[in-house]
Structure 1
Amino acid sequence: MSGMFDFCVFHRDGVCLMHIPAESSERIDSNLVSGFLSAISKFGEEIEEARVKRIEFEGKMVVYEYYGDAVFAVRAAGEFQAEAERLLVELVSALGDDVREKLKSWRGDVAEFEPLKVRAMELLKRRGAVSMTERFRRVNEKLNELRDIPGVKAVALISNRGFMIASTLTPDFDEKVISAIAPSIMRMGLEGLKEMRLGRPRNVFIEGDGGVLVLTDVGERAVLLVVAKPDANIGYIFLEMDNAAKSLEKMLGGV
């Protein structure tokens, strides 16, 4: 899963005024994006009599902000909701008044918004939000390093909200199930140790007939999971997971 951000400004009638896609979605039709977001927005206003502020898909989410006849929207991976909301506030603050003013005399030519799009791109680049490809490449490299440890079968990095960030899971693993249970297991461990006054769990270790499951906290944002064979060197895996968790926490730091 990518954490890259998509930014869109559209007129309330669905016309795309500007769209800055994440690299992974650069071929998406901008008018298709704005039309879809506009339809969801109108549904909220007309059916629910309320403005849609956020929509969530499987692993992805979109946050909205209304500004006159314009609607600003940022799409990102679900675990980056806080960053997406902060980015949206910055974009509206930087561009909102100019977009609203331009719409007063607008005659339908979206090219008029090109200078504002350039400003938006500059802001996104300063924030490092247009492309986080390098960051997620390093995340995947770190997971692959763990995967290469003898006896390790699979590795996954899962947000505490239950979204898969990255993994080396093979098709015989159910990604949805693993994404759901890993944070829950860590929470149970946290509650159990808290009750016994033993502090926060560093690792959770579960042994079964066919192998072992090891979980490590990655700060407050994610859980690192390793599935290993029964004869794997668990002590070495613990050591490498702790080191990887420290690196991954920095990689997943503020956008």
Structure 2
Amino acid sequence: MQNQQKIRAEAQAAIDLIVRDVKSAKAVVISSEDGFEVAAYVENTTQVTRMSAMASSLSALGALAGEESRLGECRNIIIEADAGILIIIQVRRAEETLIMSVITGTDAVVGQILYVAKQAARMLQTST
């Protein structure tokens, strides 16, 4: 139980970094590889449970696509849509893999989101 609380606290710290440094962040969800919410920040009407499940599925598809196309392990997925950007990053930790999803408005810069999200992912990877 204490380990789960520690993971939640670490995930929340990663979310706080993204929300602080990506001004157009609308939602940040960190979930388990099997699609369950670990921590979340939601500014808009994003449904966290659905987002967690969807991110898990997309992450699995990315892993399969990387494998089948012989590109190697999928590290992230970027979706640019009419109303915003979604970036999904796999956070590989020693004991588990977490999925980080960042949703922003259209005014965000993909490179900046990816840079900050990867910083947050490294925080989660190196925390013990």
TM-score by length of 2: 0.86
Q: For residue 177 of structure 1, report the CA deviation from its aligned partner.
A: 0.8
Deviations 1:108-158 (A, max 9, x none): xxxxxxxxxxxxxxxxxxxxx3x7656533431220110121221111101
1:185 counterpart residue number: 58
Provide the secondary structure at the position in 2 that maps to 1:206: strand
1:140 counterpart residue number: 12
The whole-number CA distance in structure 1 between the counterparts of 2:50 and 2:42 is 12
CA contact (8 A) 2:32 2:97 kept: yes
The whole-number CA distance in structure 2 between the counterparts of 1:194 and 1:141 is 31
- Give the share of equivalent positions with the same residue, in percent: 27
**Higher relative contact order structure (alpha carbons within 8 Å, sequence separation ≥ 6):** 2
2:42 to 169, 180, 183: 169
Q: Which structure is higher in strand share?
A: 2
Q: For residue 171 of structure 1, report the CA deviation from its aligned partner.
A: 6.1
Return the index of the structure with the highest Cα Rg: 1
2:73 to 182, 200, 214: 200
Unaligned runs of 5+ in 2: none
CA contact (8 A) 1:182 1:223 kept: yes
Question: Considering only aligned residues, what root-mean-square deviation do their CA atoms show, in Å?
Answer: 1.9
Change (3 A) 1:230 1:136: same
The whole-number CA distance in structure 2 between the counterparts of 1:139 and 1:186 is 18
Aligned residues, how many?
Answer: 124
Deviations 1:79-99 (A, max 9, x none): xxxxxxxxxxxxxxxxxxxxx
The whole-number CA distance in structure 2 between the counterparts of 1:141 and 1:179 is 18
TM-score by length of 1: 0.45
Q: For residue 249 of structure 1, report the CA deviation from its aligned partner.
A: 2.4
